[in-house]
């Protein structure tokens, strides 16, 4: 049997207390698995071809519509930046490694790719948190009449980057690590092992609680309050018809963005949590690969939702100038 140990380690992961990284060297790949790598390469090429233009279109639409160049929309530009990062530094690497049928860039390349992929996903998540809070403040008016200025918008963007770095940077400096996952064509944090040298367990708990459960809870709370406020205003006719309609349109847009993010990332988070809680259980590479690569579609969701709804309602954007 040619390279049977390599094939098993690459295609079937059984890691009860493993302290070694998956292989970064090529090996014999059966025809069936080779076809899977080709499908993955085609899929990543598709995401690259559409991801970069659609995120660029978000910036173009914002630049062309004066009413969209308002502080409340700065965070949407931040979302486009997150998508661009994922495409340029994540999708391209995965495409290259899928063509080679293994992670051809070595441990250093894995750390860089894992960092960039985490960076893009976390910027998107925390941008949605800030977006939710901003809409909540403007629509629900918990602080009364509030003028949302450029300074507040920049603080919000700064906050997203601080929170993102607090999640993406630790594996680079010894708190956990980035390793190839799934079909070994992309990298992510190590939630497979209990390696005490990297304190993986504490990092994974921190990541799930502080960088998934908490932000998602904030999003659900703020949008729950926002939807109730919009409905109450419509019932009581507190605002003009045009203002109510604009608020409903914006509310629908951001809710669709949140749903898009959750649809993309919840399967990945769920599978990762299962692996973390069931170390030693055998599972195929595809079990992790499918949700991992499906999550990458999030780079397309938000700009598509934003661009389509913005173009549709470009003449009714008075709300953005609040």
Annotation-wise, does 134 bind a ligand?
no
Spatial CA neighbour of 159 closest among 151, 171, 170: 151
Three-class HEC string of the chain? CCCHHHHHHHHEECCCCCCCCCCCCCCCCCHHHHHHHHHHHHHHHHHHHHHHHHHHHHHHHHHHCHHHCCHHHHHHHHHHHHHHHHHHHHHHHHHHHHHHCCCCCHHHHHHHHHHHHHHHHHHHHHHHHHHHHHHHHHHHCCCCCCCCCHHHHHHHHHHHHHHHHHHHCHHHCCCCCEEEECCCCEEEECCCCCCCCCCHHHHHHHHHHHHHHHHHHHHHHHHHHHHHHHHHHHHHCCCCHHHHHHHHHHHHHHHHHHHHHHHHHHHHHHHHHHHHHCCCCCEEHHHHHHHHHHHHHHHHHHHHHHHHHHHHCCCCCHHHHC
How many residues would you count in the chain? Answer: 322
- Contact assessment for residue 39 and residue 286, using Cβ atoms and an 8 Å cutoff: no
Alpha-carbon gap, residue 252 to 248, rounded angstroms? 6
Q: For residue 24, what are the CA distances in angstroms to 27, 174, 198, 266?
A: 10, 20, 20, 28
State the virtual CA torsion across 75, 81, 82, 86 in degrees, nearest 10: 170
**Contact between residue 152 and residue 71 where contact means Cβ atoms under 8 Å apart:** yes
Positions at the binding site for Zn(2+): 201
Positions at the binding site: 201
């Amino acid at each position: 049997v040619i390279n049977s140990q390599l094939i098993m380690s690459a295609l079937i992961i059984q890691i009860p207390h493993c302290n070694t990284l998956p292989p970064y060297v090529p090996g014999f790949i059966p025809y069936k698995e080779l076809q899977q790598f080709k499908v993955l390469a085609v899929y990543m090429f598709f995401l690259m071809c559409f991801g970069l233009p659609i995120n660029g279109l978000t910036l173009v639409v914002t630049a062309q519509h004066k009413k969209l160049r308002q502080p409340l929309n700065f965070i949407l530009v931040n979302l486009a930046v997150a998508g661009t990062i994922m495409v340029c530094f994540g999708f391209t690497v995965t495409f290259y490694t899928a063509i080679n049928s293994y992670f051809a860039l070595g441990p250093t390349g894995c750390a860089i790719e894992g960092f960039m992929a985490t960076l893009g996903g976390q910027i998107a998540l925390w941008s949605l948190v800030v977006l939710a809070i901003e809409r909540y403040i403007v629509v629900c008016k918990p602080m009364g009449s509030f003028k949302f200025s450029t300074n507040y918008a920049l603080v919000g963007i700064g906050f997203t980057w601080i929170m993102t770095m607090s999640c993406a940077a630790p594996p680079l400096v010894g708190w956990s690590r980035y390793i190839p996952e799934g079909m070994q064509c992309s990298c992510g944090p190590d939630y497979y092992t209990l390696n005490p040298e990297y304190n993986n367990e504490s990092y994974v708990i921190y990541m799930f609680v502080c960088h998934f459960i908490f932000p998602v809870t904030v999003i659900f709370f703020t949008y729950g309050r926002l939807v109730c406020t919009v409905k109450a205003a419509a019932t009581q006719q507190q605002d003009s018809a045009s203002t109510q309609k604009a608020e409903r349109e914006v509310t629908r847009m951001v809710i669709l963005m949140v749903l898009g993010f959750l649809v993309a990332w919840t399967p990945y988070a769920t599978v990762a949590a299962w692996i973390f809680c069931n170390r030693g259980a055998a599972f195929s590479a595809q079990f992790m690969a499918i949700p991992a690569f499906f999550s990458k579609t999030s780079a397309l969701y938000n700009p598509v939702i934003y661009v389509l709804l913005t173009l549709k309602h470009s003449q009714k954007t008075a709300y953005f100038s609040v």
